[in-house]
A and B are shown apart, each in its own frame.
Chain A
């Protein structure tokens, strides 16, 4: 237990440190991914199996890829490799870090348990089944609202990604688009009657 904790904590912290110290953005993103995987390992070590695995699926499987794609698709040469690492003074950095740590400590110190078998006895605080029952019972409103917000975000992203239509007579045909009646864009707009 202790050995595992030390190894996982070292990996998590080391990767987190590397993700803010390295100069190439893609390396930073990959180190951040490793750090998230380490956090997932800590969750599993603490007995929160479901949370740890969900953390892996969400952060390693989805968010990491999202970040990497964002870096690749917004390619600006000056952003791909960072010359200066610190923007402000060390004093500001330490102050912000202290503030964040304080907020986290307050949050952890005043959190009440959710009930269940009790984590202090060494066993898992919540079995996966209990977690599911809580999410579908007592916290169903919060759960469904979160799902709704994500769905709205998804629809919004699709609308943003739809081809933007310019008034025809104002600008004419854009050079990087296929002409009307040819190619994928035209067919799609015709099909939607837009």
Chain B
């Protein structure tokens, strides 16, 4: 890749001074090239694939541990209690204790369970999600794989999660497991459509299925201050909101966590899982959340691009993970705030509200592009507001209409006087 960089770091002649900005920005790539440089010729191809894979798994494995602690601490804050604060500084090593506990727990398999499928289901759940992390660009040159159809790859491998949920639910021989699997599959199928539709809008506007190119399409600034991220356009804003609503459902997060509604069906398709198999399901769920959050950052929030030109000195992967952290915090906040939906509400919301709005958003994006030729003074503002009204007004009116047709409205509480 960058021969000068390797020389600079390894000192094999031509030692070169690199500034801190360049060091941090290019450092991971240099490190990889340096490690590959030691290997014999035949092993280099394998190492160039393996090193990013190991790096992605290590980073997200650690992030998974930290996110579980952060989630419990934040939920604690929302519920006015301290949360975990005993293990390590401020309780941040709680995940290590949890991991040891999970590893040493007994692995219970029901006697009438289908042993092979029961064993395979957690693997089928985790492996595709880990694969989908490969195509997300984490920094300027930090992407494990950049296929020409990166976005399609993301959704294609994600579709295995439905099969995994079925395998877990069916093989457990437990009616709660099967009910949970049915719920999970119905939910994943329903919410995949709005998810893909809002991603499709971005594909149409960026003109590429490659996630790297989609990030590059969002570079630059309007008037030197406002970043040209997709979220700064009306269709991008609406798309992000639709995407995040659908993403919460697709990754089985609250308020859409019906597949494992503890108060109704015990633990859903995970009822009969214990010990490390349960931990793998848990990990798969968190990895799924990271993956869709990363995709949302890539599609709408400019990926690794800095929000201001002067801030580009900070390493690009730092910006990516900062945005990812904001997304994860949003997920946790929503979980702490909203109650769980009922299953018919969930399906109605997906099919009757998110799906039509997703299709409409596609249309708004076309109008946005069509109005790009306006050149009179103030054209930008008019175009912005017109497109926002095109998606915003139907969103409000359609929502009200749906609520009114079912006789719902703001709740009136009567207190004993």
Chain A positions near chain B (C-beta within 8 angstroms): 26-27, 30, 33, 37, 40, 49-50, 53-54, 56-57, 60-62, 64-65, 68-69, 72, 127-128, 191
Q: Is the CB of A49 within 8 A of B149?
A: yes
Kindly specify which of B54-62, B159-167, B369-377, B379-387 makes contact with the partner chain: B159-167
Q: A33-B163, A127-B148 are in contact. Are A56 and B157 (CB under 8 A)?
A: yes
Cβ 8 A contact of B156, one of A56, A72, A127: A56
Q: Is the CB of A64 within 8 A of B148?
A: no
| New contact pairs (19) apart from A56-B156, A56-B159, CB-CB < 8 Å | A26-B170, A27-B117, A33-B163, A49-B148, A49-B149, A53-B149, A53-B156, A60-B160, A61-B156, A61-B162, A62-B189, A64-B162, A64-B163, A65-B189, A68-B170, A72-B178, A128-B149, A128-B209, A191-B405
Q: Is the CB of A30 within 8 A of B157?
A: no
Is B152 interfacial (CB 8 A cutoff)?
Answer: yes
The complex places the Cα of A62 from the Cα of B188 at a distance, in Å, of 11
Q: Is the CB of A65 within 8 A of B148?
A: no
21 A-B residue contacts at CB 8 Å? A33-B163, A40-B156, A49-B149, A53-B149, A56-B157, A56-B159, A57-B152, A60-B156, A60-B163, A61-B156, A61-B159, A61-B160, A62-B189, A64-B163, A65-B163, A65-B189, A68-B170, A69-B185, A72-B178, A128-B149, A128-B209
In the complex, which residues of chain B have a beta carbon less than 8 angstroms from the beta carbon of A57? 152, 155-156, 159
Is B119 interfacial (CB 8 A cutoff)?
Answer: no
- How many Å from the CB of A77 to the closest CB on chain B? 15
Cβ 8 A contact of A30, one of B117, B155, B156, B159: B117
In the complex, which residues of chain B have a beta carbon less than 8 angstroms from the beta carbon of A64? 162-163
Enumerate B171-213 residues with CB–CB distance to A below 8 Å. Answer: 178, 185, 189, 192, 209
The complex places the Cα of A62 from the Cα of B178 at a distance, in Å, of 18
Is B353 interfacial (CB 8 A cutoff)?
Answer: no
In the complex, the chain B residue whose C-beta lies closest to that of A68 is B166
Q: Which one of A26, A62, A65, A69 has the greatest number of beta carbons of chain B within 10 Å?
A: A65
Q: Is the CB of A65 within 8 A of B156?
A: no
Interface of B is mostly: helix
Q: Considering the complex of A and B, which 6 residue pairs feature the smallest CB-CB distances, nearest first?
A: A61-B159, A56-B156, A53-B156, A53-B152, A57-B156, A49-B149
In the complex, the chain B residue whose C-beta lies closest to that of A37 is B160
Q: Is the CB of A53 within 8 A of B162?
A: no
- How many Å from the CB of A152 to the closest CB on chain B? 19
Cβ 8 A contact of A65, one of B117, B166, B178: B166
Is B276 interfacial (CB 8 A cutoff)?
Answer: no
- How many Å from the CB of B145 to the closest CB on chain A? 12
Interface of A is mostly: helix
The complex places the Cα of A57 from the Cα of B152 at a distance, in Å, of 9
Q: Is the CB of A65 within 8 A of B149?
A: no
Q: How large is the interface on B (under 10, 10 to 19, 20 to 34, 35 or more residues)?
A: 20 to 34
- How many Å from the CB of A31 to the closest CB on chain B? 11
Is B153 interfacial (CB 8 A cutoff)?
Answer: yes
In the complex, which residues of chain B have a beta carbon less than 8 angstroms from the beta carbon of A33? 163
Is B339 interfacial (CB 8 A cutoff)?
Answer: no
In the complex, which residues of chain A have a beta carbon less than 8 angstroms from the beta carbon of B149? 49-50, 53, 128
Is B147 interfacial (CB 8 A cutoff)?
Answer: yes
In the complex, which residues of chain A have a beta carbon less than 8 angstroms from the beta carbon of B117? 27, 30
Q: Is the CB of A65 within 8 A of B162?
A: yes
The complex places the Cα of A69 from the Cα of B160 at a distance, in Å, of 15
In the complex, which residues of chain B have a beta carbon less than 8 angstroms from the beta carbon of A191? 405
In the complex, which residues of chain B have a beta carbon less than 8 angstroms from the beta carbon of A128? 148-149, 209
In the complex, which residues of chain A have a beta carbon less than 8 angstroms from the beta carbon of B167? 30
The complex places the Cα of A61 from the Cα of B190 at a distance, in Å, of 12
Q: Which one of B147, B166, B167, B185 has the greatest number of beta carbons of chain A within 10 Å?
A: B166
The complex places the Cα of A127 from the Cα of B159 at a distance, in Å, of 23
Q: Which one of B162, B178, B192 has the greatest number of beta carbons of chain A within 10 Å?
A: B162
Cβ 8 A contact of A60, one of B152, B159, B178, B189: B159
In the complex, the chain B residue whose C-beta lies closest to that of A56 is B156
Enumerate B130-151 residues with CB–CB distance to A below 8 Å. Answer: 147-149
- How many Å from the CB of B116 to the closest CB on chain A? 9
- How many Å from the CB of A7 to the closest CB on chain B? 15
- How many Å from the CB of B256 to the closest CB on chain A? 18
In the complex, which residues of chain A have a beta carbon less than 8 angstroms from the beta carbon of B192? 61
The complex places the Cα of A60 from the Cα of B155 at a distance, in Å, of 11
- How many Å from the CB of B210 to the closest CB on chain A? 10
Q: Is the CB of A54 within 8 A of B152?
A: yes
Enumerate B297-348 residues with CB–CB distance to A below 8 Å. Answer: none
Q: A65-B189, A128-B209 are in contact. Are A50 and B163 (CB under 8 A)?
A: no
The complex places the Cα of A168 from the Cα of B194 at a distance, in Å, of 40
Q: Which one of B156, B170, B192 has the greatest number of beta carbons of chain A within 10 Å?
A: B156
The complex places the Cα of A62 from the Cα of B160 at a distance, in Å, of 10
- How many Å from the CB of B231 to the closest CB on chain A? 26
In the complex, the chain A residue whose C-beta lies closest to that of B147 is A49
In the complex, the chain A residue whose C-beta lies closest to that of B154 is A53
In the complex, the chain A residue whose C-beta lies closest to that of B405 is A191
The complex places the Cα of A127 from the Cα of B160 at a distance, in Å, of 25
The complex places the Cα of A144 from the Cα of B307 at a distance, in Å, of 42
In the complex, which residues of chain B have a beta carbon less than 8 angstroms from the beta carbon of A68? 166, 170
Q: Is the CB of B185 within 8 A of A65?
A: yes
In the complex, the chain A residue whose C-beta lies closest to that of B208 is A129
- How many Å from the CB of B117 to the closest CB on chain A? 7
In the complex, the chain B residue whose C-beta lies closest to that of A59 is B159
In the complex, the chain B residue whose C-beta lies closest to that of A73 is B182
The complex places the Cα of A61 from the Cα of B163 at a distance, in Å, of 7
The complex places the Cα of A56 from the Cα of B117 at a distance, in Å, of 20
The complex places the Cα of A33 from the Cα of B185 at a distance, in Å, of 16
